[in-house]
Structure 1
Amino acid sequence: MVKVAVLGASGGIGQPLSLLLKQNHSVTSLALYDIVNTPGVAADLSHINTPAVVTGYLPANNGLEQAVTGAHVIVIPAGLPRKPGMTRDDLFKKNADIVRGLATAIAQFAPQAFILIISNPVNSTVPIVAEVLKQRGVFDPKRLFGVTTLDIVRASTFTAQISGAFSSDVTVPVIGGHSGVTIIPLLSKITPKYEFNHDQIVALTKRIQFGGDEVVKAKDGAGSATLSMAHAGARFANAILDATVKGVDGIVTPAYVYLGAFNGANELKATVGGLDYFSSNVELGPNGINKIQKLELSAYEQELLQAAIPELQKSIAKGVTFVEEASKL
């Protein structure tokens, strides 16, 4: 049995994400959890003729425990969306406690699961989950991921509009973090190869970094990126399932991860100012992260990295401190 749990499954990201995961034939059990509406979402999805048996859980009757127990992959889009004028960092106080509560349940009932964090601000929520797991002695850095795939999706789309390539054929590595200036698109590593001029690089970099603002503004207060984020979340979850269930070799994708003791982590940590968390290309294997690839940056990308490091330091420290202070209460 391959069980996938979606925590926050009734929301704007959670519903389309659950729909996309229902279409993955590797999934035999799809468990949906949220504070409202999950039985209805589950009933709706259960009519789709793919293998996954769908169940919906609410907080009552130990719903969270039932949702995560036995899960192979847990995807967490739970939390409040951004509103106009709100940065991902503004979401911290709103979403940090939600994520901490979910992480506590995972530590108790599903410590071996692969955990995929979508809840913003990812730069802080991933450290929150890690600290909760550390406190309970079940932290495995190879199995915890901050999903930054939307930045890669946007980079492919935006660059293709200039290069003329099919966006689905374009790959642009994006490293750093998952908000504003911490997002570092490596346009020098785009494939198929394309030479942008400096002005194009600067404009594309800014658009990729703040692409989420386009959606927030266009929705005029009605939410943030949901459909594109659901696509990106499912794409990353499917990559994890391919590597860990199907045994597909050679899958490489950017993700925001803890720079623990696995291949390439120490080398990367030394080049990013000693940060404990950073998004870079990771090679996946049956146990999660096999290897972190080294960075090769242009001069402009080095400048972007130097601007990102202090912002990431603050975000990481905020997440760690939040768990430390909460544990004293």
Structure 2
Amino acid sequence: MNLTKFSVLKTIASPRFVPCRNSAYCPEPDKVPTVVSIIGGHTGEGQLTALLLKQSKLVDEIRLYSGLINTCGTAFDLSHIDTNPVVKSYFGQALLKDAISGAHVVLVCGGHPTKPCKSQADLFEENADYVRNIAIYLGEFNPKGILCISTPPVSALVPMVSAELKKEPVYDPRRVLGIMTMGVIRSNTIAGRYINRNPADVAVPVIGGMCRRTLVPIFSQIKPTANLEKALQILLHDKVCSAEDEAVDLKYIENTGSCFVSNAFACARFVTSVLKGLKGRRDVVECAFVRQLGHIESFLPYMGSVVKLGRSGIDSTHMPRINDLECDYLQKAYPFLKRHIEMGEAYIVGDFPKECLINPRLSGYCQFVTKKAVTQIGDFKLNLETPNKQEEKKCIDIIT
């Protein structure tokens, strides 16, 4: 189909078209600039995401917002890059309305990062107000904007934001997405190395959630097709699910903050896909944690699935075929996902389930990372400040 010809015919048929003999004086249709607002622009993840989006031809304006640190210097620094997008800075609660209004995509990143031995309940408690504040402003001043959430835990914050927006008649489940691209690129990279393929050519769909207990990579549907033995699928699943914990431990040893480099890449890729969908591309597919409106809703109202993106955000959601092993992993993830969803919704509507009121803590020795004063090289030690004074080498798992 000749899209150029179609667009010309559409313009001619439009009542705004004014015939003109001299084309030099014919008015051009007003072009609405494509705006992306990055909430948490002062963080490493926000800055690197802005750097990657500054190189995109799909973006006309990038807005960096922070309620804690002024991002004028970062915006001015990015503006020196000789690409088209204009970079603007917004600082403080008073300018949050301006940062969000008129934005096509609002990306929420930053907040409190994942740390060793920190539970999903702890993360939610620390980041809930931060993300809820953005949702309130979005519902009031930009209900048509697409909200992309990268701040953890996505599986609790997406239901919380949805419950907040449901208070007003502006809620559209197609416009609230939790980013799961980080799980996808980890799965692609790890699987590609084991099957001797370039990770850029590998595609592994991811469903469930984003934490270690809820992430379910679907290696049975890997592209290009590969017949992976069950033992290899188990190995790959364990490596993908433990990859974040390993990276967090190493970053903590180095004292270099959270794992924001790969997260920024994942955010930029996801936002780029959303923008492609907004501009009419029909072949844009990503994995995201979203509201389930089909037959999956009877299983879980929110879950990570494959989504097709379009002009309104999500065009459709799809669940890939799964084998018995992946079905077993999904069944094990179910109670944790259900608890996260209830925790997020109850934060808005009240009436916390009894189990959500309990914030589980480590009751024994926890293996944690400390930094040596001279060498700056970390080592693993045992916390010996617990009452029973008994050695235990295994870090107790927290039910998240």
Query: 2:326: which partner in 1?
Result: 301
Matches for 1:222-301 after TM superposition, within 5 Å: 222-245=256-279, 247-260=280-293, 266-270=294-298, 273=299, 275-301=300-326
**What is the CA–CA distance in structure 2 between the aligned matches of 1:82 and 1:251, rounded to whole Å?**
29
- 2-side partners of 1:295 and 1:166: how far apart? 23
CA distance in 2, matches of 1:120, 1:294: 23
User: What secondary structure sits across from 1:32 in the alignment?
Assistant: strand
- Contact 1:14-1:230 at 8 Å conserved across structures: yes
The residue aligned with 2:109 is 77
One-letter amino acid of the structure 1 residue matched with residue 296 of structure 2 = L
Once the two structures are TM-superposed, the CA of residue 102 in structure 1 deviates from its matched residue by 1.1
Determine which structure has more spread, i.e. the larger CA radius of gyration.
Answer: 2
- Partner-residue secondary structure (3-state), 2:44: coil
Superposed CA deviations along residues 114-148 of structure 1, whole A, max 9, x for unmatched, are: 11000100000111111111112211011110000
Structure 2 counterpart of 1:2: 34
Contact 1:277–1:316 under 8 Å retained in 2? yes
Task: Select which of 175, 191, 195 maps to 1:163.
Answer: 195
150-159 or 214-223, larger mean C-alpha shift? 214-223
How far apart, CA to CA, are the structure 2 residues paired with 1:68 and 1:189? 38
Q: Which stretches in structure 2 are left out of the alignment for 5+ residues?
A: 1-32, 352-400
Q: Which moved more, 1:3-12 or 1:197-206?
A: 197-206
State the distance in 2 between where 1:294 and 1:157 align.
22
Instruction: Determine the C-alpha separation between the residues in 2 that align with 1:210 and 1:89.
Output: 19
Q: CA deviation at 1:223?
A: 2.7
Partner of 1:263: none
In the alignment, is the contact (CA less than 8 A) between 2:154 and 2:210 conserved in 1? yes
Contact 2:205 2:320 in 1 (8 A): no
Question: Aligned partners of 1:300 and 1:259: how far apart in 2?
Answer: 23
Counterpart position of 1:313: 338
Alignment root-mean-square deviation, CA? 1.4
- Residues 189-246 of structure 1, C-alpha deviation per residue, up to 9 Å, x if partnerless? 001122222222112101212211111111125433211010011101000101102x
1:13-28 to structure 2, matched below 5 A, reads 13-28=45-60
Deviation at 1:51, TM superposition (A): 1.4
| Displacement of 1:149 | 0.3
- Distance, in Å, in 2 between the alignment partners of 1:58 and 1:283 is 34
1:132 is matched with which residue?
164
- For the Cα contact (< 8 Å) 1:240–1:284, is it kept in 2? yes
- Matched residues in 1 for 2:257 and 2:160: separation? 24
SS in 2 for 1:13: helix
Letter in 1 for 2:161: V
Aligned positions, number? 316
- SS across alignment from 1:210: helix
Q: Deviations over 1:39-64 (max 9, x none)?
A: 1111111111111111111115x211
The alignment-based identity, stated in percent, is 35
Does the Cα contact within 8 Å between 2:285 and 2:309 map onto a contact in 1?
yes
> Which of 165, 176, 183 is residue 208 of structure 2 equivalent to?
176
Deviation of the 1:325 alpha carbon: 3.6
Per the TM alignment, residue 161 of structure 1 is displaced from its structure 2 partner at its CA by 1.1
- The offset of 1:276, in angstroms, is 1.0
User: Are 2:86 and 1:50 aligned?
Assistant: no
1:37, distance to aligned residue in structure 2 (A): 3.0
CA deviation vs aligned residue, 1:55-106 (integer Å, no higher than 9, x gap): 111115x211110010000000031112222244421111011111111111
Q: Which of 322, 344, 347 lines up with 1:322 in the alignment?
A: 347
1:24 Cα offset (Å):
1.2
Letter in 2 for 1:268: I
TM-score, structure 2 normalization: 0.77
Are the equivalent residues in 2 in contact too, given 1:4–1:74 (CA < 8 A)? yes
Helix, strand or coil at the partner of 1:192: coil
- The amino acid that maps onto 1:241 is L
Take 1:145 and 1:323, find their aligned partners in 2: how far apart are those partners? Answer: 18
Asked whether the 8 Å contact 2:218–2:322 carries over to 1, the reply is yes
Work out the CA distance in 2 between the residues paired with 1:203 and 1:37. 45
- Contact 1:82/1:223 (CA < 8 Å) preserved in 2? no
The one-letter code of the counterpart of 1:233 is C
Matches within 5 A, 1:116-155: 116-155=148-187
Amino acid at match of 1:169: D
2 CA distance for matches of 1:182 and 1:83? 17
Amino acid paired to 1:45: L
What is the one-letter code of the residue matched to 1:125?
Answer: L
Match of 1:91 in 2: 123
- Whole-angstrom distance in 2 between the partners of 1:89 and 1:205: 24
